[in-house]
């Protein structure tokens, strides 16, 4: 049985959420959406996504505390994180996760998401069926 992969998108921009939802759902990925950091943290605990996309410019959230929240939650500690932000300002603040600099092209972001989801599937298979 194949388990459906899921991605949590934390981004206040409806356009970004819509593009990712449309493209990734066509590829069999379930999309969970949040418009701000605290909501994203709650949804991550509830749904345990396979990957999280976090825009650091979400309203009403301190980027560092939201990022730290994902890093320190037991449910999301090992979940791959794609961080969208300003290369100069944000990359130095957030050493973990995959970083995609703004402005970005959706194709680049989608390829990064698919790459990380594929790695996650490969590692899950290796854990379930270790080589002897």
Annotate 21-46 with b (16+ C-beta within 10 A) or e (fewer): bebbeeeebebbbbbebeebbebbee
pLDDT score, position 51: 96
Domain boundaries, the chain: 6-96
28-53 pLDDT tens trace: 999 999 999 889 999 999 999 999 99
Instruction: With cut-offs at 50, 70 and 90, classify the pLDDT of residue 107.
Output: very high
56-104 pLDDT tens trace: 877 555 667 777 788 777 777 788 999 888 766 666 666 666 888 888 8
Retrieve residue 105's tokens: 């092209």
Nearest to 54 by CA among 6, 12, 89, 106: 12
Q: What kind and span of H or E run contains 99?
A: strand 98-101
The architecture of the domain spanning 6-96 is 3-Layer(aba) Sandwich (3.40)
Exposed/middle/buried for residue 118 (C-beta within 10 Å: 0-12, 13-18, 19+)? exposed
């Amino acid at each position: 049985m194949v388990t459906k992969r899921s991605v949590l998108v934390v981004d206040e921009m409806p356009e970004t959420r819509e593009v990712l939802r449309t493209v990734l759902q066509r590829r069999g990925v379930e999309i969970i959406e949040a418009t701000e950091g605290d909501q994203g943290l709650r949804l991550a605990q509830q749904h345990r996504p396979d990957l999280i996309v976090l825009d650091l410019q979400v309203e009403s959230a301190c980027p560092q505390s939201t990022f730290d929240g994902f890093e320190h939650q037991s449910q999301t500690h090992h979940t791959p994180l794609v961080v969208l932000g300003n290369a100069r300002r944000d990359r130095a603040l957030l050493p973990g996760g995959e970083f995609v600099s703004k402005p970005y092209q959706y194709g680049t972001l989608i390829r990064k998401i698919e790459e990380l989801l594929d790695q996650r599937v490969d590692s899950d298979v290796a854990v379930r069926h270790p080589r002897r």
